[in-house]
Amino acid sequence: MFELIIFGGNVVDGTGRPRFRADVGIEGKRVVALGDLSSVPARRRLDASGKVVCPGFIDMHSHSDLILAAEPQLQAKLMEGRIRQGITTEIVGNCGLGVAPSDDRSRPRLRGQLSFLTPEGVEPSWGTVGEYLELLEGQGVVVNVGVLVPHGALRATVVGFGPGEATEEEMGKMEVLLAQGLEDGAFGISFGLIYPPGQYASTDELVRLARVLKPYGGYAAFHQRGGGPETLLRSVEEIVEVGRKAEVPVEHSHEQVHGKGDWSAIWETVRLKEEALKEGVALGQDLIPYTSVCTTMAAIFPPWAQEGGLPALLARIGDPELRRRMELEVETRFPEWPPWKEGSWPVNLVRDFGWENLYVAFVEGEENKHLEGRNLRELGEALGKSPFQAVSDLMVAEGGAVAVLIFGISGDREDDSTLRELMRLPGRAFVTDAWETGRGRPHPGAYGAFPRVLGRYVREGRVLTLEEAVHRMTGLPAGRLGLEDRGVLREGARADLVIFDPAKVKDKSTHGDPRSFSEGVEVVVVNGKVVVEGDRYTGDTAGEVLRRTGRGIWG
């Protein structure tokens, strides 16, 4: 007698091989049988006729760190849009951003920097990665979650938020803190090389820290330094260089090029990475299925203005002289290499995308809510100021709690042909890089990224086969993470499962209306528990905290 049998479905098992007809038997937290189970008794049977049954989706690039730290009821509510996409596992701590490790000095500043990722009422109290994971375990989590050690948190805690090279003593301290995080179960380190303080690190610092991973088997994930014409190629070279020198796996997170109508610069980086793979560098890559992204509005300001964190940025914006200097630089400065030198600037988002492609995604205060959804050129026109003056005033009024939505990531609102070409290339996992804090407008990927791949790009666009697309959301990331019993639907695997209708699956969330649940994902099972069934969502804390155990599969 099985607890649950899912019968009549087409199994897409996550390896990439063609679908096959099989029933799936579940006992406790595991898949215990696969095949014809029509004569096997079960306490419950779910009809999957005409549907696809596949492993739960794994999002290697989540920013749910602080959302998963919320108490279970709030967490369940904020995570619903992600779980209804079929996501059952997330890796947090990406882009060098996070609050573990931290100490009493760095924590409030990290908390301030990450306000755009933080739901109301969540106050980080943890210091180490281990304490963070224990908190999640104690409260319960709605999905499976593993962490990366964010380099920004390491550097903020040991060196501070300012620029400059780490001393030998500071390097040693960061290495120890990182090793402790890895001992506690982290899957590796993440670098966010457009954000302070991570952006102040030289390539040598990245190599040294990445070397710490070697005995543990973790990987280093990179938010590249630059995406515009001046620094894109050098930024991707740097990722490969770290992998080669440190001899550890490197993940090029959300592969992208910045631009206004011309995204062709990406092909040189693609060739460069193909060469590196041939040479044996353990390189992974992932893609967001959108031509837009969301981040903190602070990212549009020059690095020197951000030194010391958000309060310092706001103080400088308040100084007319400094504000003038910032405006001049935002309008005229080109990124240059090396970007970690004092006074340098890795990425000028305004130059890369133009004011008209930067939108106010979120503001804290009610009085400015009507400005959400406007681009910064419109914002300036509405307020009778230059775009820079308008957004600076908005930053001050909102205490810095402003998020920006950027169009122009490997495509724009009309043209996603470059993104489609990237998707056709082998080895790219799909990720969301999107979150829902319950405040402002989330990026639509928080509600629709994976169904968008299956609907828009698989069924409608025929960019990939369904089996290949599912592989890139399941077996491929599970392999990199070394998750031996997730990501592939087979006997003995954890019962993280999705049932979706391949004829109907699609994203419904848009930039204008981001909080629409996806269609066609009918059942989601996390560790054997049915958490989504049709319209019903239980909000159960069925997830588990994952600690790295094995070495991943790379290259």
* Alpha carbons 433 and 394: distance in angstroms, whole number: 25
Backbone φ, ψ for residue 156 (5° rounding): -60, -35
Which window, 39-47, 95-103, 451-459, 505-513, contacts Zn ion (CB under 5 A)?
95-103
Q: Which stretch binds Zn ion (CB under 5 A): 71-79, 90-98, 116-124, 226-234?
A: 90-98
Is the Cβ of residue 223 or residue 456 nearer to Zn ion in the bound state?
223
CA atoms 483, 489, 493, 496: torsion sign: positive
Phi, psi of 8 (to 5 degrees): 85, 0
> Shortest Cβ distance from residue 448 to Zn ion (Å)?
19
Give the residue with the Cβ less far from Zn ion, 95 or 350: 95
CB of 194 to Zn ion, least distance (A): 8
Q: Considering the rule CB under 5 A, would residue 189 count as an interface residue with Zn ion?
A: no
**Of 157 and 224, CB closest to Zn ion:** 224
Identify which of residues 223 and 420 has a Cβ nearer to Zn ion in the complex: 223
Q: Which is nearer to Zn ion, 296 or 541 (CB)?
A: 296
Q: Which is nearer to Zn ion, 95 or 129 (CB)?
A: 95
- Shortest separation between residue 308's beta carbon and Zn ion, angstroms: 22
Distance CA 236, CA 225 (A): 8
For residues 365 and 475, give the distance between their C-alpha atoms in angstroms, rounded to a whole number.
42
Q: Using omega within 30 degrees of 0 as the cis cutoff, is the peptide bond preceding 229 cis?
A: no
CA dist 248 → 204, 218, 293, 315 (Å): 15, 8, 28, 41
Q: Are 357 and 407 in contact (CB under 8 A)?
A: yes
Least distance CB 95 / Zn ion (angstroms): 3
Q: Which amino acid does the sequence have at 2?
A: F
Asked whether position 223 contacts Zn ion by CB under 5 A, the answer is: yes
SS (H, E, C) 91-154: EECCCCCCCCCCCCCHHHHHHHHCHHHCCCCCCCCCCCHHHHHHHHHHHCCCCEEEECEEHHHH
130 versus 152: smaller Cβ distance to Zn ion: 152
- DSSP string for 253-294: TT---B-SS--TTHHHHHHHHHHHHHHT--EEEEE-SSSEEE
Does 406 sit near Zn ion (CB under 5 A)? no
Of 69-77, 217-225, 375-383, 422-430, the window that binds Zn ion (rule: CB under 5 A) is 217-225
Looking at 92-100, 113-121, 298-306, 473-481, which segment touches Zn ion (CB under 5 A)? Answer: 92-100
Find the shortest distance in angstroms from Cβ 496 to Zn ion.
25
Number of residues counted as binding Zn ion (CB under 5 A): 2
Footprint of Zn ion on 345-384 (CB under 5 A): none
Min separation Cβ 338 and Zn ion, Å: 20
Sheet holding 402-407, edge to edge: 292-296, 402-407, 358-363
Stretch that binds Zn ion, among 7-15, 93-101, 379-387, 441-449 (CB under 5 A): 93-101
The stretch among 65-73, 87-95, 153-161, 400-408 that binds Zn ion (CB under 5 A) is 87-95
300 DSSP assignment: G
Out of 6, 34, 95, 287, the residue judged to bind Zn ion by CB under 5 A: 95
Cα-Cα-Cα-Cα dihedral of 29, 32, 33, 38, to 10°? -70
Q: Would you give the DSSP letter of residue 411?
A: S
Minimum CB distance to Zn ion, residue 433 (Å) = 6
**Minimum CB distance to Zn ion smaller for 295 or for 392:** 295
- Residues in 120-149 that interact with Zn ion by CB under 5 A: none
What's the min distance (Å) between Cβ of 210 and Zn ion?
17
Is the Cβ–Cβ distance between 81 and 539 less than 8 Å? no
Residues that bind Zn ion (CB under 5 A): 95, 223
